[in-house]
Structure 1
Amino acid sequence: MKTLYFFLLTLCGVLTQDREFGVKYPDKPICAVRRFSVSIPCSYSYPQKHQVEQKLWCSMNSNTDVCLNPPYVYNSSSNTKSDFEFTGDDKSDCTLLIHNVQFSYSGEYRFRFITNGDRFTGKPGVTLQVTDLKVSLIRLSGNGTLKQGDSLNLRCDVNCTHTSSQFVWSKMNQSLNTSGPVLHFPAVTVRDSGKYTCTWKTNKTSGSETYELLVEGDGLDQWAIWSIILVIILILVIVAAVIYYRKRVEAQEKNSGNGAEKAKDAENTHDKQSKPQLSSVPPLDVETLHEEEVTYATVCVKDKKPAQGRDYTGKQKEDDSVIYSTVINT
């Protein structure tokens, strides 16, 4: 009995090492959001005596011969770059990453690999579903334009289901403490205005969509009031700066003028000190000097006494009369 038990263990080990050709895909369809990326998990197996030489992915939308021949969305022997990227290896991982998913990428995908001894294609393949992520507004109260006090829901919709998906909400890139596809507003206010983003995540893909919520306030809302206050403060600052600048320029000009006047006064003072002081006697011109000379000469003649013992003659009387008349004219 002991010998037989040992033989069975040895046989299991041999079977484990001698693997068969095979490809394993997810059991359920994979949902992807348009314009985002999705990962298609995949694993493959083959006998260890073989070595992988080429790896291929094909879309059954364009390949009708069970992936035996081109076209391929991925070919390890080609260096062509596309939205389809192989992130696996040459041993057991055959994961395919698809970027910028489009509606045309929906459909069945199959993995095919070629070894130095054989080739194999996993079928049936994996199904990819491409959808849009939408955020819609559902009014619970109020009509027309959103106003303060209205009740509403923001709903995040995905047209394909996934058991492990989750929804994350954020406002202006700040995460909100809520989960699930619905964001509820029992009574909105002006502060609730802004851009809300719903992000849908799974272990294979993710996607997001943004919705802008606008709520009207009564009259001027708080943001408008603060904007007006900031504008007024800015205007006052500019006016004060202009007044200060003008006063400073006027002060500089005044200081420059005072300096010039002081320099001029100093120059005049210097000129006055350097010039000799004139006598208080007013200057006499030539005509005045002549008149005074004549006057003095006349006085001298007037004061001249006649010689003793001599009588005046008629000529002398005429001379005396001329002298007196000259003095009177002066």
Structure 2
Amino acid sequence: MSVGLLLFLLLTGSASQLQLVNYPEPTCAARGSTVTLPCFFKPQALVLRTLWCIKHEICQGTKPSQSVTHVVYDSNITKINSRYDYLGDLKGNCTLRIRDIQQGDNEIFRFRMETIGKPFTQRSGVKVTVVEGEPMRVLSVDPGWAREGEAVTLNCTSRCSFLGLDVMWRRNGGELPETGPALRLSNLTAGETGGYTCALRRDPKTRSPPFNLTVEPRLNDSSALSGISVSLWAALVAVFVIAAAIVVILFLVKRRRRQRTLHAGKEGSGHENVYDEPPPHASRSGPYGQEVGQAAEEVNYAAVQFQSKPTSRPAAETDEDVVYSAVTKTLA
């Protein structure tokens, strides 16, 4: 074994104990979907080359022809496979995107960086599991109903990945033009009510169960406002009428009580004013005051005499006695 090869193995072995590459968690993806593997690395020196590979622990073959069989990306080669896109750089980002995943991608993917004298591969890698033929699902944060003019978003997902899917959407069996995993329905109309399904475009067997969406008609705002205004006015008028009726009733009751009080006062003081006090215009002084006063006294006396009971004559008194008494008074 040459000294150079021994030194290379020692450097590789010691570097393999370091965590210089951070891989994502194991990923599950549906066949035909797109998956992104976020990845970050810590360069120990100036990075000259980056690679992604499968079916190899250090992403390095003994011959150039062998390396092509397991390398899916090489920064020194313009394009190896159009399904693999390197989203990283040579400074610390090693993110890889896999489009239209196939069963051949059911592997462990590893990243390798090559620097001056210190190439390094993180052997742990990231495991990608590919599933096929499983039905998709339509999910939404909305409860399954909306009003006209609102917006709803439907998401086509699978048991594994749900991003980057090339799907086919249908409503009541009719195909829709949208192809992304998210179907956004804005400014809804009643005609968009129905069952929505999705499936991978390359695998119709993955069609999902229908997601039933009901779009309810929206009430006309002006009609609603006018209805509210009419109701409000009717309520105000009713309150005003009731209040006015209460005021009128209270006024009438108070007026009747006052009339009863005045009438009762007049009845209680009527006789005293007639018999005890002279009329207001009758003055006791002046040239005619005496005559008026005497007339008033005579009236009072006559009234008293009229109200007094007549004196009954004795039973023994006769008409002759009465005549005799009258004659006597005359002679005297």
> Which range, TM-score by smaller chain?
0.3 to 0.5
